[in-house]
């Protein structure tokens, strides 16, 4: 898979420090966000804290980093939605959306389908 375009961002210019946000750490942080981690989780995984990540985002010259952050979060959200949609389609193909009694397994169905089946079940004679 080709790397997303937001990975090519300009890191925030900082003094070199042993405990600072190096170019590699900034890139790893954006990668973690793209994988679906929340900012606090991504920062902790790198040995940093959430407040430092947000402070880095607000620094002068961090516009490219902030844009990459936002795009990584949007990318992760799109992937999560696509994955959920694929899982739902697979459940529907395999027939796992219905219980062994041929009644719909309502928690696994989309909201519109739940409303339709609930109404249909209420209309059935006992």
Look at residue 74 and give its three-state secondary structure: helix
Greatest alpha-carbon span in the chain: 75
Read off the pLDDT of each residue in 19-25 and give the average, rounded to a whole number: 88
Q: What is the pTM of this model?
A: 0.68
Closest of 60, 67, 54, 7 to residue 32, by C-alpha? 7
More confident residue, 38 or 110: 38
pLDDT in tens, 25-57: 999 999 999 999 999 999 999 999 999 999 999
Residue closest to 33 by CA, chosen among 41, 22, 25:
41
How much is the pLDDT for 108?
A: 58
**Residue 113 tokens, joined:** 């389908």
Contact 122, 104 (CB under 8 A): no
Q: What is the pLDDT, as a whole number, of residue 65?
A: 93
Q: How far is CA 93 from CA 86, 90, 113, 115, in A?
A: 10, 5, 15, 20
């Amino acid at each position: 898979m080709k790397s997303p375009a937001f990975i090519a961002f300009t890191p925030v210019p900082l003094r070199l420090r042993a405990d600072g946000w190096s170019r590699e750490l900034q890139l790893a942080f954006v990668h973690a966000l793209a994988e679906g981690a929340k900012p606090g989780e991504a920062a902790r995984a790198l040995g940093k804290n959430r407040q430092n990540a947000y402070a880095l985002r607000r620094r002068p010259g961090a516009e490219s980093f902030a844009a990459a952050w936002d795009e990584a979060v949007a990318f992760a959200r799109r992937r999560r939605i696509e994955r959920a949609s694929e899982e739902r389609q697979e459940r529907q193909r395999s027939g796992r959306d219905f219980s062994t009694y041929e009644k719909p397994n309502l928690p696994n169905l989309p909201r519109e389908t739940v409303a339709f089946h609930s109404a249909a079940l209420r209309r059935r004679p006992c």
